[in-house]
Structure 1
Amino acid sequence: MTPRILLVEDEPSIAEIVDFALTSEGFAVVWRTLIGEAEAELAATPCDLAILDLGLPDGSGLELLKRLRRSSEMPVLILSARNAELDRVLGLELGADDYVTNPFSPRELAARVKAILKRAFRPQPDVDQPDPCPLPNGLVVDEIRAVIRFRHQRLDLTRYEYLLLKTLLAQPERVFSRAQLMDQVWPDPAASFERSVDTHIKTLRAKLRDIDPDHDPIRTHRGLGYSIRVRDGSP
């Protein structure tokens, strides 16, 4: 089935470049210029990925991203002329899967879309497996269902939060540098900021505290990176 890409962009010249780059790679592109039009399109026909501009005539692309993340895990790529680090970090913190600045390479954009979709729709083995056993710190990864639980409660995670926590849990007590975590999680680490790791760790900690305010299984190693404690209270 041909992947459907929703493009929310009010500049025709940019939309034409994106449309050509993606249709040349076999994608079906649906172009909308307003947030209201985009939401109506998604309500009528689901898409596999959305590309959002930030400055739209009827509002901010970030507001649309917030609303999408309340009800959908559809991958989102931000395409914007805003290239400040703060804008990029905020977009990623709100749940975007990638952030591309304009001007951009059409071939690179298509490659990023492919990488995001490959990660998002990686097939899961069709087998029945028993529920995995939790670590002594109360965390458990269920890779078949792509969920992580803490104290028997399911964590509501974005894709990057899930992959970060899964990477840390795969080797408890190991200290991962920010660069190592980016290599494991981000489709194009060289195009992202190491601060993005800190931002996602911050939101992960907030979600863990919502379940158990007295314990933080993520340990910060100043100047080095992060690790997962095997047991509560371990140094």
Structure 2
Amino acid sequence: MRILLVEDNLSLAEGLTALLRQSGYAVDVVHDGASAEALAAAVGFDLVILDLNLPQMDGLDVLRAMRARRNPAPVMILTARGSPEERVRGLDLGADDYLIKPFDIGEFEARIRSLLRRQAGLRSSTASFGALEFDLIARSFSASGQPLELPTRERDLLELLILRAGKVVARESIMASLTTLDADLSPNAVEQYVSRLRKRLAGLGLTVRTARGIGYFLDRIQA
């Protein structure tokens, strides 16, 4: 999952980035509204965490521009501007959540999980497909009740596939979700991760199939 963090307080941005990356998210960080608006227009993020008091362009203007382009990425506003009028305005402009500073880290993480769960159309914190189960809180997989240990990139890829089970995930979407501005990913690397996942999942009766020219999807191996 790829997250855009827009925060002009450098120490807070650094701390939140470390927290999110420790949880396994791919994180891009910008510190002004103009950069946020340009990056959100160019990249398909799974979540945008948006401060309001930003240099160059106010956060609400960034949000307004995103929704005007029909950008569907969930947006969590994270700001010290907490009056009822500000909250109503942000939500009416298309924000999906509004968290006021100072905030509790546990609540912050829970709200992120809630937004990602809602985006995936899940009602609980687990997603399953065949013998495979994904825990959104721990961001971990199990198979038939036993932990399934995966390298980071393979886990992230399988997370994308299980949260969109039954749908083809475009190769471009996979590359965008697994990549950050400082860590590029090539199509050949995606093929390698898919190949490794197929080998790991074969014993579970699952596979990653290719939709030629489009992307990949999680499927059961037919007996």
Q: Identify the TM-score tier after normalising by the shorter chain.
A: 0.5 to 0.7
> Offset of 1:124 from its aligned partner?
7.1
Aligned twin of 2:64: 66
Matched, 1:9 2:12: no
Please give the TM-score of this superposition, normalised by the length of structure 1: 0.50
Residue 18 of structure 1: SS of its match in structure 2? helix
Contact 1:22 1:29 (C-alpha < 8 Å) held by counterparts: yes
State the match for 1:79 in structure 2: 78
1:101 alignment partner in structure 2: 100
Which secondary structure does the structure 2 equivalent of 1:19 belong to? helix
Indicate whether 1:22 and 2:20 are aligned.
Answer: yes
Higher RCO (Cα < 8 Å, 6 or more apart): 2
8 Å contact from structure 2 (residues 51, 77) kept in 1 = yes
Q: Which residue in 2 is equivalent to 1:217?
A: none
C-alpha displacement of 1:40: 2.8
Amino acid of the residue matched to residue 109 of structure 2? A
Moved more, 84-93 or 38-47: 38-47
- Report the number of matched residues: 125
8 Å CA contact retained: 2:37, 2:65: no
Deviation at 1:36, TM superposition (A): 2.0
In structure 1, what residue type is equivalent to 2:64? K
CA offset digits 1:47-100 (Å, max 9, x no partner): 111011101011210011011011211100000011111111111111100000
Distance 1:41 1:124, change over 3 A: closer
Please name the residue that 1:35 is paired with: 33
Decide whether the 8 Å contact of 1:7 with 1:29 is kept in 2: yes
- Structure 2 unaligned residues grouped into runs of 5+: 122-162, 168-223
Question: How does the TM-score come out when normalised to structure 2?
Answer: 0.52
Distance in 2 of aligned mates of 1:20 and 1:125: 29
Q: Which residue of 2 aligns with 1:138?
A: none
The aligned counterpart of 1:55 is: 53
For 1:118, the equivalent position in structure 2 comes to 117
- The residue identity in structure 1 corresponding to 2:3 is I
> Which residues of 2 match residues 50-199 of structure 1 at below 5 A?
50-71=48-69, 72-122=71-121, 126=166
Q: Work out the CA distance in 2 between the residues paired with 1:90 and 1:116.
A: 19
Secondary structure in structure 1 of the residue aligned to 2:23: coil
Displacement after TM superposition at 1:126 (Å): 4.6
**Over residues 191-214 of structure 1, what are the superposed CA-to-partner deviations in whole Å (9 max), with x where a residue is unaligned?**
xxxxxxxxxxxxxxxxxxxxxxxx
Structure 1 residue ranges, 4+ long, deviating more than 6 angstroms after superposition? none
Could you tell me how far 1:45 is from its partner in structure 2?
2.7
| Residues in 2 aligned to 1:101 and 1:92: alpha-carbon distance in whole angstroms | 13
Cα distance in 2 for partners of 1:54, 1:117 equals: 21
CA RMSD of aligned residues (A): 1.8
Q: 2:17 corresponds to which letter in structure 1?
A: D
**SS of equivalent to 2:78:** strand
The separation in 2 between residues aligned to 1:107 and 1:77, in whole angstroms, is 15
Quick one: which amino acid aligns to residue 90 of structure 1?
A: R
Identity of aligned residues (%): 43
Which letter does structure 1 place at the counterpart of 2:120? F
Gaps of 5+ in 1: 128-235
Shift of 1:125: 7.8
